[in-house]
Structure 1
Amino acid sequence: EINQLTNQVFATRNKMENLQAAQQNGVQRLQDLEHRLQDEQDAIADTRDLLAQLNEQLGNTAEEMRLVEQDYQLAEQDYNAATAQFNEGNLQLTRQQSKITATRQELEFKQNQLNDLRNQIENNSAQLTEAVSSIEESQQALANSEDSLLELMRKKQAEELKLNEADQAYYNLRNALQEKESSLRLKVKSKEMVEHLLGEIKDKLNDLKLQLAGMKERLNVEFRIELDDILDQPRTTETPLEDLQASADRMKKRLENIGEVNPTAIEAFQEMKKRYEFILEQKNDLVDAKESLMQTIMEVEATANQQFLETFNQVRENFQKVFKALFTEEDTADLILENPDNLAETGIDIVAKPKGKRPSSITQLSGGEKTLTATALLFSIYLIKPAPFCILDEVDAPLDDANVGKFTNMIKQFSENSQFIIVTHNKMTMSTVDVIYGVTMQEPGVSKLVPVDFRALS
């Protein structure tokens, strides 16, 4: 960057020298014109004297008078031409002085930048020296730390060995203790099972006693039969005991199934019926709403697909036109739907084939061709609904001069309906705009905006 600034300073000095030489030539030419003007004025004075003499000599011929008048007119024309040249030279001198003043200001600004860069280089050099010394100290400390780390690693290995031995002894003792605890738990469990079984037997015995007492009481109360009196009596029927027991169980189950009479069963039925009818009505409403919603979704999808397809066809047509405008009429480009049957999820393939190339993918194009293709796609979408403003940030950076010319011509065509704001460093693009805004830094840290309206100049 310093070399570039130095070259710019030398170039500025050369411009100043050329301007000074041009100024000297203009001054010399002005002096020549002044001498020539003086000579012409002297000639005019002589001519006037001659005219006075001719007036005194009225006897001269009319032909000589006419010749003298012609000489006078020619001299006066030369004087007017000399005056015009003098004014033009004065105007050129004023312009050159303005350019010299601007060049001197730019030279001072470049020299200030050069001084700032030199100071920055000195500061960076000092910081680099400090960083190098700090790195050396850190390396020395790292070497010392590595020695200490190796010593600690050796101690750690010795302590880990002792710890492993202690862990092994602990695990052996814990396994022996677990075996004894397991055997003890088995014995305790066996004891609990025996006690539980004994408790169950006692409970069954008590239940049998209670049942027997209940049966005695029931037989005595309901049937006026003493159980102790009939135990020793023989059976009077030949029906097996199992059948009698089964018949009794069936009767018990029928009684249990019948259950108690519920007086609120009719009210519960009515309430459940109303609840059922309400839920059925809600279900029908939900089914109707679902069908209506599905119909609406289908209509929305159909409308969206139709609008998407119409917009896609317009973008496709615009893309082909803009692509040929940026390239040539023989170049082809197209937009292809990957899945036309599913417009909501389909992808779009961009096909660009400049003349002489048949790339299988857009990634095989050069940087400038990719940029022009992307620009063509953006403007094809832009043409669907043009915006009042359009901002382009260094779009022409990867383009060569020929493609920059095509790009600027297209911008001029579209600028009839929209205003374009272009961020660029390309001189060709700058030369075609209406208004240019330059950002400069005459003082360090202070930016200044310099606008130039070319429309006023034209």
Structure 2
Amino acid sequence: NTESIEALQLSLREKITVKDEREKILIASRDNLAQKETDLRESEQKRLQTEQAVHPIRDKLEQSRLNERESKLLFEQFQNEINESQFDEVVLSESITEKTTVKEVQELCNKLQEEINLLGPVNLAAIHELASEKERKGYLDSQVEDLTSASNTLEDAIKRIDKETRDRLIATFNEVNKNFTEFFRILFNGGQAQLELLGEEILDTGIQVTAQPPGKKNTTISQLSGGEKALTATALVFALFKLNPAPFCLMDEVDAPLDDSNTLRFADMVTEMSKNTQFLYVSHNKIAMEMAQQLIGVTMQESGVSRIVEVSLEEAEKMELAN
């Protein structure tokens, strides 16, 4: 009748409006997600740049230390040359007594002259060079101090970033692991499952999924059947969605390998999760279709021409009750 058609048309327009609003929300959510991913990549790039900046600074620091040691050796060499070239009157006076003959004095002078000759020519620029090396040593000491301070600052920043990243990853991993175990038990009506780190350092290790459906031994996900793999993967997806619910979740024939009992538990779980997330899923299963609030079918009445048919289960129930 006319009133029912007008009511359905009004409902259709309202649903189109709601659909448009939700598409806007979806676009905004995608933009927000893209921005978050961009921020994460920038943070990771900054961390890598910081790590790369440390290496040349360390090399310069080591080179400065080598220059400092070289300057110290050169300084000591100049100091020794200056000390050795000085005339020691005390030693000479002790070598000559009242009984010393002229010949002995001459021999002593010759010996001292030989020692002087062995020293080589006097370096008149040694004092100036010593002052210059002292100045250079002071400059290098200052450079070493600056480079050491910069290196310590960068290393502290890297440690702080690694600690914050590690703490967040551990907290997120533990929360997802807890949710994963919870959803696995619900979907399998028992059993045990968990996420395991393959190494001790969470920043660079992998993650392994272990699952033990009811009545089976503990095993990795690769050894499960098709239906068990689908339910395990669904439990992991739901665990992530519970940690950070998204506006939409799209599933494509997730229930295909499931029997009726498992499909029913899956449908109940989707209904529960739909309080915070709108689920869009492709299914050929009647049990899964029955839990939907809106059905959209694709038919081909003419060859090569597909047609979309939309059915609201709530409206259909109201019309059936009215009739």
TM-score range, shorter chain: 0.5 to 0.7
Give the TM-score taking structure 2 as reference length.
0.54
Shift in Å at residue 335 of structure 1?
2.4
Q: 2:299 aligns with which of 440, 449, 457?
A: 440
Counterpart amino acid of residue 420 in structure 1: F
Name the structure 2 match of 1:312: 173
Aligned CA distance change for structure 1 residues 323 and 272 (closer, same or farther; 3 Å)? same
Structure 2 CA distance for partners of 1:260 and 1:285, relative to 1, 3 Å: closer
Deviation larger for 269-278 or 431-440: 269-278
Give the match for residue 345 of structure 1. 204
Change in 2 beyond 3 A, CA 1:275/1:412: same
Q: 1:173-226 CA distances to partner (integer Å, 9 max, x unpaired)?
A: xxxxxxxxxxxxxxxxxxxxxxxxxxxxxxxxxxxxxxxxxxxxxxxxxxxxxx
In 1, the alpha carbon distance for the partners of 2:252 and 2:133 equals 72
Instruction: Report the alpha carbon displacement of residue 325 of structure 1 after superposing the two structures with TM.
Output: 0.8
Sort the Cα spacing of 1:271 and 1:456 in 2 relative to 1 into closer, same or farther, 3 A: farther
Conserved 8 A contact 1:359-1:365:
no
The question of 1:379 aligning with 2:238 is answered: yes
Paired residues for 1:260-409 under 5 Å: 266=128, 276-329=137-190, 331-339=191-199, 341-409=200-268
Aligned-partner Cα distance in 2 for 1:438–1:446: 14
Partner Cα separation in structure 1 for residue 158 and residue 251 of structure 2: 39
Q: How far is 1:376 from its partner?
A: 0.6
The residue identity in structure 2 corresponding to 1:295 is D
Cα deviation for residue 389 of structure 1 reads 1.1
Query: How far apart, CA to CA, are the structure 2 residues paired with 1:273 and 1:441?
Result: 93
Larger Rg over CA atoms: 1
Amino acid corresponding to residue 144 of structure 2 in structure 1:
K
Counting only pairs closer than 5 Å after superposition, residues 47-86 of structure 1 correspond to structure 2 as none
2:281 maps to: 422
Alignment of 1:39-188 (within 5 A): none
Take 2:174 and 2:236, find their aligned partners in 1: how far apart are those partners? 13
Whether contact under 8 Å (2:211, 2:219) holds in the other structure is no
The equivalent residue for 1:410 is 269
Residues 333/385 of structure 1: CA separation in 2 closer, same or farther (3 Å cut) = same
- In the TM superposition, residue 279 of structure 1 has moved relative to its aligned partner by 4.1
Q: Secondary structure at the residue paired with 1:356?
A: coil
Shift of 1:443: 4.3
The count of corresponding residues between Structure 1 and Structure 2 is 204
2:243 match: secondary structure = coil
What is the identity percentage for the equivalent residue pairs of Structure 1 and Structure 2?
39
Please give the per-residue CA displacement for 1:310-366, whole angstroms capped at 9, x wherever unaligned.
Answer: 22221121111101110113x222223333x32223333322111211143332221
**Which secondary structure does the structure 1 equivalent of 2:308 belong to?**
strand
- Tell me the secondary structure at the aligned position of residue 297 of structure 2: strand
Cα gap change, 1:273 to 1:393, in 2 (>3 Å):
farther
Alpha-carbon spacing, 1:352–1:258, altered in 2? closer, same or farther (3 Å): same
Question: What TM-score, normalized to structure 1?
Answer: 0.39
CA RMSD of aligned residues (A): 3.1
Q: Aligned equivalents of 2:248 and 2:238: distance in 1?
A: 13
SS at match of 1:417: coil
Offset from partner CA, 1:356-391 (integer Å, 9 cap, x none):
111433322211011101111111122111111111
Q: Distance in 2 between matches of 1:285 and 1:425?
A: 70
Structure 1: unaligned runs, 5 residues or longer: 1-90, 92-249
1:288 maps to a residue whose letter is S
Higher normalized helix content (fraction of residues): 1
SS at match of 2:281: strand
Alpha-carbon separation, structure 2, partners of 1:258 and 1:312: 76
